[in-house]
Amino acid sequence: MSVRKVEITRIRSDGSTETLEDSVAADVAVCIFVDGEFYRTLIASPGMLEELVVGHLYTEGVVSSHTDIADLVVQPERVDVSLRNPVNLFEMTMGKSRLLTTACAASPRIRPGSVRRVQPVVDLDDALIHGVVDELNRLSMVFRETGGTHSALIHHWDDGVVAFAEDVGRHNALDKVIGRCLLDGVDLNRCVLASSGRLAGEMVLKAAAAGIPVVCSVSAPLASGISIAEEAGIRLVGFVRGHRMNLYA
C-alpha cells in the first residue's frame, strides 16, 4: 500500500487539540542484488518495483537495454536481478552511495562530451507542455491525499500518456516511468517527460540517458540541470504553472 492511515493530534493556534486519522505516504527500503551481489538500497514507495529497478539500472548505466536483464525477481523489499552478461559493480558504484534516500540520487560523474545527445525537437507546441503538466497534476492522487510524494509522467507525441508514477523520491518516480516505457518498447525519442520535482543534474542526466528530448517541471531547475540539458540538447522547461513557463535550455 502506498498510503498508510495514522492517528495524529492536531494542535491549533489557540492551543486546542483534536485526535483524528490522517494519511501518510509509505516508504520502504528496496535492496537490489545483481547476480547475487549487493548493488544498492533505494528508499522508495512500495509498488512498481520492477519498473523502478529496470529504469534505475538503465539510467545508471548498469544495463544498456532492458533485454540485458535475463531475470528479475521481486520480493518484499528485495529485488534480485540476473544479467545476461556480467558487469563490474565495484567500478560502477565507486565513489557513489550504496544507500539512496528520498532526497538524493547517485552523484553523476560527468566528463565533457560524455553526456548522450538526444534527437533534436524540430517543432513543439507550448500548449502540449501545459497539457502534459496538467495531466501530471490530475493523476497525482497520492500527493493530493498525503502531500508526501513526487510524480513523473511520460507523454508520447502520438500515443499520449504512456507511463505515470508517484514515489516518495523524485528520482524513483522518474526511474519508474522510464522502466515502464522500456518494458513496453516505447520510443522515448518522441516523448516529453514531466516531473513535479526540481530538475537537478542527475534528473536531467537520467532523461538524457533514456533519449528523452523534452523535460518539464512545475518546479525549478538547478544550474547542473541546465548545463546537462545544454550538452544533451534537451529542451528544459521549468515553472510550468497556470499560463506561463520558463525555457532554460
CB of 232 closer than 8 Å to CB of 226:
no
Residues 6 or more apart whose CB falls under 8 angstroms from that of 134 comprise: none
- The single residue of 104, 181, 191, 216 carrying the catalytic annotation is 104
Nearest to 122 by CA among 35, 190, 21: 190
- Please name the helix (run of DSSP H) or strand (run of DSSP E) that holds residue 232, with its range, or none: helix 223-232
Residue 181 falls in the annotated catalytic set: no
| C-alpha triplet 165, 37, 72: angle, nearest 5° | 40
Nearest to 130 by CA among 240, 246, 219: 240
Catalytic residue ranges: 104
